Structures are given as structure tokens and as C-alpha cells.
Amino acid sequence: MELYKNTEEAFVNYLKRHGYPDESISLEWGTTQCAIDIAVLASDLITPVAVYEIKGRKTPEIIRKGIDQLKRAVKFFDITVSCNLVFGSDNATGFEVIDVTKNVYNDEPINISEIMESHPLKKPISYGIMQAGATSKAISKRIKNKQEKIDRIKWLCWLLFPLLAIVLLLLDAFGKYQITALRLAVIGATVVIILIPFFSEITLKDVTFKRKSGN
């Protein structure tokens, strides 16, 4: 326990000396269900840009346990960040940091020997660069999520619209529902209202509907 506290204190002070704002360093970040030893937060003080699990001495068992903890955490919070293990050490800093990001996000078997022999990080990435990288990842993730939603809407449209057209034609043929220009306009307007949040613009014949940027 003493090694853990000493390692944590030494690492936090090291980050501060290298330009990391005090408020960006969050201890036991997360919830009662899942927490990470140390999270470095972006300027909004909400979004993590890097996470660290503090451990004792570097052993194969501790490495595997630490990576498993980080895997559960990033999955629980649905985040893509730099993942690291911090071990107590007899070196000048009192700790060593091993980047295990690829092991956390890669489903391949963990190569413990490779991690044991890997060189610890000599200097932390600057806070500004780390934050910029996290912002880029966040934007990419938002674009990916939006595209997935659009793809689902497209499949829904391809399935429902032809079915709706067939139903309307059958109802019109049997005199149950008369298709008029007004009713077609109402149906078209309804479709546009449903779809416009997912597209920047929709064109129906000579009429274009545009969504305001930033919405």
C-alpha cells in the first residue's frame, strides 16, 4: 500500500512539473461501479485524454491484471484514450510508465514478455499535444457514430418506403384511401421532418431543405 501511494504521488508531481494543470489530473476518476486510478482530463475537465493504473512492482501477473482492468474501464466508459500502467521503481523518478494502449484495444493475446522487456516512457507527452490528439479522436468517433445512424436510417427507408408505397397504391386501387396531391405533399413533408436531423440537406425535385450548421 505504501509503495502504491508513493508511486502515485511521485507520478502526479512529475506530471505537474511537466506542464499538466492540477485540475486536469483526476484521482480515482469514474463512478462507484468503475474507477481508474488516474485520469488526465481535457480542458473541459470531463473528457479523459489518458488513463493510468498505479501498480507495485512490474511482474507478469500484475501486468495482465492491469491491462484487464483498463480493458474493462474503457469498455465501461466507451472511451478511446492513451492507456498506461505505472509501476513503482528504484530509479530517480520513483516510477516507470509503460504504454499498453495497443494491448487494451487489441483483442490479440497479450505478449507479457514483450511488455516486460519494453522501455518505459522517458517523458510524458505534452498536455497540449495529448489534448489535441484526444479531440481528433472524439471528432472521428462522432463522425463514425453519425454515419452508423445514417446507414440505419437508409436501410429503414429502403425497407419501409417501398412497402408504404405499395400499401397506398393498394388502398387507392380498392377505394379505401384516395391518393391526392395534398396527401402526397403531407407524406413528403413528414418524411423530410423525420430525415432532416440526419442529413445536411435533402432535395425533392426542385426543392432543397437544408439543416442549419451547428445543429
Question: 10 or 92: whose pLDDT is higher?
Answer: 10
Residue that wins the pLDDT comparison between 14 and 131? 14
For residue 163, which phi and psi values (nearest 5 degrees)? -65, -45
Q: What pLDDT, in 10s, does the model give residues 43-84? A: 888 889 899 999 988 999 999 999 999 999 999 998 888 999
What sign has the CA pseudo-torsion 89, 8, 47, 31? positive
| 105 within 8 A of 69, measured Cβ to Cβ | no
Domain boundaries, the chain: 2-125, 143-210
Give the C-alpha separation, 101 to 161, whole Å: 44
Task: Give the C-alpha separation, 200 to 209, whole Å.
Answer: 8
* pLDDT for the residue 201: 59
Name the pTM for this structure: 0.63
pLDDT (0 to 100) of residue 215: 46
Angstrom distance (rounded) from CA 75 to CA 113: 25
Q: 105-141: per-residue pLDDT in tens? A: 988 888 888 888 887 777 777 888 777 655 545 545 5
Task: Among 33-42, 144-153, 190-199, name the one with the lowest average pLDDT.
Answer: 190-199
Residue 99: all three cell numbers together: 504504454
Looking at the structure, give the CATH architecture of the domain made up of residues 2-125: 3-Layer(aba) Sandwich (3.40)
The pLDDT assigned to 24 comes to 93
